[in-house]
Structure 1
Amino acid sequence: MEFQNDAGSILLRKKVLRIVGIVVTLLVLWIVQPFTYENIDAGNVGIKINLYGTDRGVDNITIVTGRVWYNTWTTKIIEFPTFTQSVDYEPFVVTTRDAAEFQVDPKLNYHINPAMVPQIYRQYRKTLAEIEQQFMRNTIYDAYRIVANSFTSDSVMSNREKFEDRIQILLTKNLGKDGFIYDQLTSAISPPASLRQMIDEKNASIQARLKAENEAKQAIAEATVSKAKAEGEAAALLVRARAEAEANRLKQQSLTPLLVQQQVIQKWDGKLPQYGTVPQFFKNVAQ
């Protein structure tokens, strides 16, 4: 009886161990199994690369979107964003034709042509972040270096728009041929301290000259107004004086002897003037 119990216990123990072994094996297989999936979000493009087989390597790249299942042992998925990217680069220095050093602090906005994502990976075999800090940064630096070498220090500051237009043309061409679409470049260009001082002094001189010219023009204008006002007042006085003189002349011409006698008769009150009042009498008549 005891032998039967021992045999049953051994069988049960073996069965439990078998079940545990199967479960452990399944867990290990689940942990190490190579199958997984990748979600390619909107605004991104994924490329599927075969690592083994006759089609292995970057020559066989498939563009994928959405949820993609793949074998991590034999396949690799790399995702590239196709929406606008903004990269703020560390400042660098470029030299103009007259050996002046300008510091440039660029910020680039760009996006990737989705159809050229496989070509980008074939050519560079790097992540987008690595491409931005290596190839794209070198392209931006070369554009500034080439354009700056065709300008003098003064012309860079006085023809800033033309300077940046040339850089834009170069970047559009050199980035676009590899699938990177240029959107916008913001650059803070700082001249050397000596040139900045010269520019400030020149601007101050121009401001002082303009101020002096404005003050001179204002003084001339005020003098012109005062002269015109004085001439107007003098002309008005002359006209009044001439009018009064003409009136007196006409008045004197109108006092004929006959008219004077007539006025005397009209104003005589019938009394003979007293001695010493005759001049006053005729004065009253004349009035």
Structure 2
Amino acid sequence: MDSSMSRKIIRYVLIFVAFLAFIIIQPFTYENIDAGNVGIKINLYGTNRGVDNITIVTGRVWYNTWTTKIIEFPTFTQSVDYDPFVVTTKDAAEFKVDPKLNYHVNPAMVPQIYRQYRKTLTEIEQQFMRNSIYDAYRIVANSFSSDSVMSNREKFEDRIQTVLISKLGKDGFIYDQLTSAITPPESLRQMIDEKNASIQARLKAENQAKQADAEAKVKVATATGEAQALLVRAKSEAEANRLRQASLTPMLIQQEWIKKWDGKLPTTQTGAGTSFMMPIK
């Protein structure tokens, strides 16, 4: 193999290696912005560094990784389950709160969100949004006593919702729902249990009293009915006897006597063993 052929082979190899190196280190790539997401393009160099006033729609976006960065924000509903924390009421009772937040991002405000926080959505959730939730509970709890938190649970959570809607909404986060498991202190829980037991006992006693009263009324009604029935029977028998006595005329008595006569005349015993019969006229 002559030297000219060797130089050609080496040149081709070098070209191929350079091409592979270019393919490997070249800065151009693309990002797929899926449906339900918004992408923002960030310039890393030049006088226009920062977030462009362009919201990238769904689809494939080509960009230079050396000079540009693409940040993708989901705009569908997010659910974040935060670690429990403790808040204090105005009478110094400590309640444990275990919140779970559902929210979504306002697509039109995605560039503003990144300008303000310069973080990913996951980082924002665990920093700004968590602090907002904690502050909402802290502020509202300080305006409630421990008893009123439990007896006005709906009002308590409505106040927290109002604070969060205002706080999150102005920064581009739309509040959907907040689920909070609120655990009272052990002493208050015991008081609540005793109060509930007392209420249950009172309700049971009232129900028993109502049942006894109802049973007594049934017995009275039964006795009254039986007495009235006896009275009616007695009146009926008395009336029947009166009618029978009123119907016993002398003629009727004589007819009844004749029906029962066996044909023998009655005899009367006189002195000295003599007897005689009296004729019946």
TM-score (ref. length: structure 2): 0.90
Deviation at residue 186 of structure 1 after TM alignment: 0.9
- State the distance in 1 between where 2:138 and 2:257 align: 111
DSSP 3-state at the match of 1:105: strand
- State the distance in 2 between where 1:251 and 1:170 align: 96
**Could you say which residue in structure 2 is the equivalent of 1:64?**
56
Counterpart of 2:85 (choices 85, 89, 92) is: 92
- State the distance in 2 between where 1:274 and 1:183 align: 122
> Relative to 1, partners in 2 of residues 1:274 and 1:151: Cα closer, same or farther, differing over 3 Å?
farther
User: What one-letter code is carried by the residue in structure 2 that aligns with 1:63?
Assistant: T
Deviation at residue 27 of structure 1 after TM alignment: 1.6
- State the distance in 2 between where 1:220 and 1:64 align: 77
Counterpart of 2:123 (choices 130, 133, 136) is: 130
**Could you say which residue in structure 1 is the equivalent of 2:277?**
none
Deviation at residue 272 of structure 1 after TM alignment: 3.2
Range with bigger deviation, 78-87 or 233-242: 233-242
Q: Per-residue CA shift, 1:27-77, capped at 9, x if unaligned?
A: 21221111111110111000011122232223x342112111111111110
- State the distance in 2 between where 1:257 and 1:245 align: 22
TM-score (ref. length: structure 1): 0.88
Identity of aligned residues (%): 78
DSSP 3-state at the match of 1:22: helix
* Structure 1, unpaired ranges of 5+: 1-7, 276-287
Deviation at residue 189 of structure 1 after TM alignment: 0.6
- 2:177 paired with 1:190: no
**Could you say which residue in structure 2 is the equivalent of 1:220?**
213
**Could you say which residue in structure 2 is the equivalent of 1:199?**
192
* Structure 2, unpaired ranges of 5+: 269-281
CA RMSD, 1 decimal: 1.6
The structure that is helix-richer by fraction is 1
- State the distance in 1 between where 2:267 and 2:179 align: 111
- State the distance in 1 between where 2:121 and 2:66 align: 23
Q: Aligned pair count?
A: 267
User: What one-letter code is carried by the residue in structure 1 that aligns with 2:78?
Assistant: Q
> Relative to 1, partners in 2 of residues 1:218 and 1:12: Cα closer, same or farther, differing over 3 Å?
same
